[in-house]
Structure 1
Amino acid sequence: MAQLTRTVRIGSSHGLHARPAKLFAQAAKDSGVPVTITKDAGKPVNAASILGVIALGIEQGDYVTLTADGENAEALLDTLSELLTTDHDAE
């Protein structure tokens, strides 16, 4: 199975802080598919790790690259991309 990548722009007005990071990491973890998230040209971190995701210091408007490997990678990237582009701080 080919590895898929997708680059998305962060929509939450306060970036990927605790609540959106938790939603994102939980969705990645629940999928059972190995996923990484990378900010700019940085080191990829496990997308299922809340602390790893928060440690990236992702702000609104930043671009991140998701990489998934597995059977449902495309559907998973759709779901995770939607979580990242949604402004969870507007609710």
Structure 2
Amino acid sequence: MKKKAEFPFNHARRITPSEVIAAEQAIQEQFGINYTRRGRPAKSETEKYQSVSIRLHPQVIAWAKSEAEKQGVGYQTIINEALLKLVS
């Protein structure tokens, strides 16, 4: 059985963003399919987190990781929630 030839991507042209929008609109009009944008929704200024670097005791990290495993979330989320409880 012959192997299929690969598409020559190096000769293909890139489509413009306006062509992508036009294609999405045509599909939506013809088939009624609504494309939703992927990814996380944008956060408001009050919801945005600030990146920091902090040194924590290894026991704190171990506690946070064990709690995170129990709850099925990230350990940084556990630390953040614990700090939020203290300040509110």
The TM-score, its normalising length taken from structure 1, stands at: 0.27
Of structures 1 and 2, the larger Rg is shown by: 2
> Quick check: which one's helix share is greater?
2
The TM-score, its normalising length taken from structure 2, stands at: 0.27
